[in-house]
Amino acid sequence: MIRRAFLVWLMVATCIGTTTQARTVAKTLDIYVIDVEGGQATLIVTPSGESLLIDAGFPSDGTFASKPGLAARARDAQRIVAAAKDAGVTEIDYLMLTHYHADHAGGVPELAQLLRIKTFIDHAAPTAEAEKGVAGTQGVYDAYSAVRANGKHIQPKAGDRLPLNMLGGGVEVVVVASEDKVMSRPIPGDTPMPGVSRSPSICEGTGIAAQEKTENPRSTAVRLRYGRFSFLDVGDLSGPSLFALTCPTNLIGDTDVYLVSHHGADDAADPSLYRTIKPLVAITNNAEKKGAQKETMALLKQMQSSIDTWQLHRTLAEGSADVAPSDRIANLDNITSAWIKISANADGTFSVMNGRTGFTKSYAR
């Protein structure tokens, strides 16, 4: 009897041991930069399986004038569902909207019909100036807030941590800016590695004016850390608040992957942030003719010995040129809609994969 009990205990112990080992070896933090043709939809899946979607692309057929329609025909919501399926995600634990423009928030009503969204994270309603600047912003917000009423709602301020992975999987998401305010002091205790101090700011000038001065500068921006790996997604943050993330003080710390602000438009061309946070990889979530503008691309070209640029699309923006070779460009035309997928380990090593070709490159600091 004792012997049988011991055997059962041994079998259970072995099973637990195997499971734990498989998890530590196989589980990564995965980030899908989904092609929504010049908007944003970035799906983050933690090693414990929690999902955080940052923005949901355009509504319907994908223009600023489009209105949400049939979920079955919603271009961007369907692309998000495809990425979720690839990641084994069946519901969105957290949806964070960076701001209320149609290319970021427009796809929510359709997505919510396809995947349950449990918690909504955002900032205050758009101002009257936002509607004047980009017509339709208020309508996007109204359609979104009707959906939001069905879930939990969090409105964090700059400096707050998102309640992601409360089970302690080692993932930390800090809101570094929101509503045109940046966090008041650097992320506490955050250095690239134990014993290594935060890099000093390397600032030039006073920043670049925002192309759109109302809702973009109010973008809710986050810095994610998983062990030693870090990722910065600032939405379309631009103008003084973008500059203030790293100048005069480095509030962010070294960052492995930077999703270039505002799809790589020219108001993301200030070298200060790139020189201060020193990304190994910069990704432009551009469309063929949106974002990836000439000054930002020229800067990324200039920095190519230290920063590997990946592009969601090749660029046909006026006067601009691709920085990435074609194996680091997810889509060479408008026929494919491939994502860029990052898989990160807690030790800081990570890989980036081109969803169109499967080409993968590994990185380590």
What is the binding site for Zn ion (CB under 5 A)? 103, 236
Radius of gyration of the chain measured on its C-alpha atoms: 21
Write the DSSP symbol of residue 298: H
Our CB check for Zn ion shows the closer of 236 and 288 to be 236
* Min separation Cβ 40 and Zn ion, Å: 6
Min CB(226)–Zn ion separation in Å: 25
At its nearest, how many Å lie between Zn ion and the CB of residue 99? 8
User: Among 311, 305, 316, which Cα is nearest to 326's?
Assistant: 311
Q: 245 near 252, Cβ under 8 Å? A: yes
Cβ neighbourhood burial of 349 (10 Å; 0-12, 13-18, 19+) = middle
Q: How far is the CB of 291 from Zn ion (least distance, A)?
A: 8
Comparison of 211 and 351: residue with beta carbon closer to Zn ion: 211
Instruction: Name the residue among 282, 131, 286 with its Cα closest to residue 214.
Output: 131
Residue identified by tokens 């942030």 is 273
How far apart CA 99 and CA 124 sit, in angstroms, is 9
Nearer to Zn ion, 30 or 55 (CB): 55
Closest CB to Zn ion among residues 236, 256: 236
Least CB distance to Zn ion at residue 176 (A): 18
Give least dist CB 33 to Zn ion, A: 13
Give yes or no for a contact between 310 and 235, defined as CB atoms under 8 angstroms apart: no
Quick one: 236 or 308, whose CB is closer to Zn ion?
Answer: 236
Query: Which is it for strands 171-178 and 221-226: parallel, antiparallel or unpaired?
Result: antiparallel
Closer residue to Zn ion, CB minimum distance, 76 or 103:
103
